Every structure is written in C-alpha cells, then in structure tokens.
Amino acid sequence: MLVEVDHIVASRVGAAAARRFLHAVGGGVHDVAYLSPGLLRRAVELDNQYADLNLGLADTCVMAIAERHEMPILTFDFTDFRATESATGPWRLAIDEHTYMRAMQR
C-alpha cells in the first residue's frame, strides 16, 4: 500500500525521504503489489476474524498482500500486528519492535 508507506516515511523520516521513495517507485526500483478482488476478500476475512481489534481496511489490506506475497510488513503499529496472524503464523515485521522502542528511548 503505497499510501501507507508514503505516510509512514513522511511522518517518521521526513518529506524529502518520502519524495525519494516516490521517485524510486515511479522509476521501477520497487515492485508494487496491487489489491486484487481475491486480496480484498482476504482483507475482509481478516477484518471479520479480528473484528474486536477494529483493524480497518488499510491494515487488513497490508496483511492480505503480505500474506499472499510472503513479505515482511513495515509498520509501527506493533500492537495490532502482534495481536493477529497470517494463515501460516505470526507476521514478519520489517522493524523489530523491541529494537525500535529502545532506540526511541534514547
């Protein structure tokens, strides 16, 4: 979900980094995973499965894409992603939450 990555990079790193990411995507440096009808159905399944968490469309779409493509997830929302699982087990997160929390305390 490019919008999610753009938001995370812009808010955590800055506008210049977000612009560099956008140019890299536009230049073909990164692959883009598109939300197919099947992935949307899987996102709805995940939303139903974890209804008590109120995950929302953005997070469940990220989950569905990561599950299908066996990709790690870039998130700072560790609570929701650790409270849920893919069909094969815990999500692989691109950032270790314990390392991140220690770095933020410095």
Domain count, the chain: 2
Task: Say yes or no: 85 and 106 in one domain.
Answer: yes
What share of the chain has pLDDT > 70, as a percent?
A: 99
Nearest-angstrom CA–CA distance, 94 and 36:
23
**For residues 63 and 91, is the Cβ–Cβ distance under 8 A?**
yes
pLDDT band at 21 (very low <50, low <70, confident <90, very high): very high
Task: Say yes or no: 45 and 79 in one domain.
Answer: yes
Q: Read off the amino acid at residue 40.
A: L
**Residue 13: C-alpha distances to residues 7, 43, 44, 59 (Å):** 10, 28, 31, 20
**For residues 10 and 18, is the Cβ–Cβ distance under 8 A?**
yes
**For residues 18 and 9, is the Cβ–Cβ distance under 8 A?**
yes
Nearest-angstrom CA–CA distance, 52 and 103:
31
pLDDT of residue 76: 84
Secondary structure of residue 93 in the 3-state scheme: strand
Task: Say yes or no: 3 and 38 in one domain.
Answer: no
Task: Say yes or no: 45 and 19 in one domain.
Answer: no
Range of the domain at 76: 33-106
